[in-house]
A and B are shown apart, each in its own frame.
Chain A
Amino acid sequence: MGDRTILHSDMNCFYASVEILHDPNLRGKPVAVGGDVEARHGIVMTASYEAKKFGVKTGMALWQAKQLCPDIVFVSPHMDRYFRFSRMAREIYSEYTDLQEPYGIDESWLDITDSVSIKGDGLKVATEISSRIKKELGITVSIGVSFNKIFAKLGSDYKKPDAITTMYRDEYKTKAWPLKASDLLYVGRSTNAKLKRVGINTIGDIANAREEFMVDRLGKMGSILWGFANGYDDTPVRAQESSAPIKSIGNSVTSPRDLINDTDVKIVLYILSESVAARLREHGFRCRVIEIWIRDNDLFSFTRQHKIKNATNITGEIADEAFRIFKTHYRWDKPIRSVGVRGADLVNDSYWEQLDLFTSYEYRQKCMKLDASLDDLRKRFGFYCVQRGLMYIDRGLSDVNAKEDHTVHPLGYFR
């Protein structure tokens, strides 16, 4: 079998680029998308290149970013826009291949091996995709072209923004090997430290080490990384639409006052579940795992999750399960400061599952219809037009702005 042709396309500073496109006044300025700008908390989700020059990084608190770069402009995230642009990009990719695997919202692998004879070689297709995204979406991409996914991803990181880098079989030794070991997928901070201790600094060092030595140092992962560095990665690009492009949808909030009893927590869990469930429905997902996150007033935090029987996006089911998990795992040693709810292990609408005899599907259907009607009402008349009775127990708490603390995680590489 000949070599595959794999592209990895990465939309540069995705959230920031989309915001800059929508507000041309921001062009050329240091911009960071993140958190709740008004409330002065939250983190940087994406920074523009101008902001990155000052050292602003993803994950930084907004106040830290402001210290590094006093002129920085903060923009609140518009997830609907990002999903729209991500979908438009995927529509373009789909004209070149059906083998398309999203890695997070802004990156995708494309296996174009079978369309090379029609559409041209990897570099030609990459050039075409890059210029179409620029023209049709108004943002730029970096694309890596190679014979496996790992090197394709290295290629897209090689030069940014708006660049195409090939990592062909006769090139990877000169292009990939001099790169820092930490540039390789799955070499995180702790792995990197371990490698440094034995004098392995570059990807080439990993490749030229003996496999047994790597296994000795890092266990099974050592062998995998050694394979990655030598170009032996043969993981397939997973076919389109076989999985949800994002891993989980979650929401968390720090309440205006500390929560001191079950009712307080129940109110906040319901608010969060409303927004999580609504967003699941909006994007056509259902979740199979529900997770809660609790932080007490000593800032000690923990998460607990539970797999549920039927995939769901019904508000009531998510909220009840979240509250049940909470009841099982919290002993009220301390008041609670922050609470989060997350739906994970997502499946899309085409997912089917085995029905069982003891669940009332008629009742679940009714719940879904009810939620759909509520979504509709809220879309037309605003979120507060219809509310649960629970919310009237303590208006101070239920008024907390369940502002979307969106988190979009890429799926793991190994599945």
Chain B
Amino acid sequence: MESVKVYVDVKAKFSKDGRLIPLSITWTDGSEYKIDRIKDVCRAASLRAGGAGIRYTCMIYGKESYLYYEDNNLWFVERKQA
């Protein structure tokens, strides 16, 4: 079974008031997806993928996805299951 937890490359910016804001993610196949809007930021665990960290609720092409920033400085997303 493919792992639900997928580590991804992320482009992000630090705002001048110290916030970390992801701008786009690069999927495993190399395609880059722009994050249109961040609806929510909170600490949360992902029981599906297995991990915990800061969870960004992102709008990408009109769809809502969770992007997690772990304390070990890695970003991951939950793989959508077919």
Contacts and interface: CB of A to CB of B under 8 A. Distances in A.
Given A24-B4, A135-B44, A136-B44, A85 B52 contact: yes
Most buried by A among B4, B43, B49: B43
A138 B48 contact: no
Contacts of B51: 21-22, 138
29 contacts: A21-B45, A21-B50, A21-B51, A21-B52, A22-B50, A22-B51, A23-B50, A24-B47, A24-B48, A24-B49, A24-B50, A84-B72, A85-B52, A88-B43, A88-B52, A88-B71, A134-B45, A135-B44, A135-B45, A136-B43, A136-B44, A136-B45, A136-B52, A137-B45, A137-B52, A138-B45, A138-B46, A138-B47, A138-B51
Given A136-B44, A138-B52, 9 more contacts: A21-B47, A21-B51, A24-B4, A24-B48, A88-B52, A135-B43, A136-B42, A136-B52, A137-B45
A84 B44 CA distance: 14
A383 B33 CA distance: 38
Interface in B1-15: 1, 4
For chain A, the bracket of interface size reads 10 to 19
A83 B23 CA distance: 30
A201 B72 CA distance: 49
A22 B1 CA distance: 16
A85 B45 CA distance: 11
Nearest to A136: B43
Interface string A1-39: 000000000000000000001111100000000000000
A23 B49 CA distance: 8
Contacts of A23: 50
Interface of A: 21-25, 84-85, 88, 134-139
By secondary structure, the A interface counts as: helix
B6 to A, nearest CB: 13
A24 B72 CA distance: 19
Interface string B35-65: 0000000111111111110000000000000
A361 B55 CA distance: 45
B42 to A, nearest CB: 8
Contacts of A84: 71-72
A336 B4 CA distance: 48
A88 B70 CA distance: 12
Contacts of B45: 21, 134-139
Contacts of B46: 138
Nearest to A21: B50
Report the 7 A-B pairs with minimum CB-CB distance, sorted nearest first: A138-B45, A136-B43, A22-B50, A24-B50, A138-B52, A84-B71, A137-B52
A138 B42 CA distance: 13
Nearest to A19: B50
A84 B49 CA distance: 18
A24 B1 CA distance: 12
A22 B72 CA distance: 13
B22 to A, nearest CB: 19
Contacts of A85: 52
Contacts of A22: 50-51
A45 B72 CA distance: 24
A201 B43 CA distance: 45
Nearest to A91: B43
A96 to B, nearest CB: 15
Contacts of B52: 21, 85, 88, 136-138
Contacts of A135: 43-45
A360 to B, nearest CB: 38
Contacts of B49: 24
Contacts of B71: 84, 88
Most buried by B among A24, A137, A139: A24
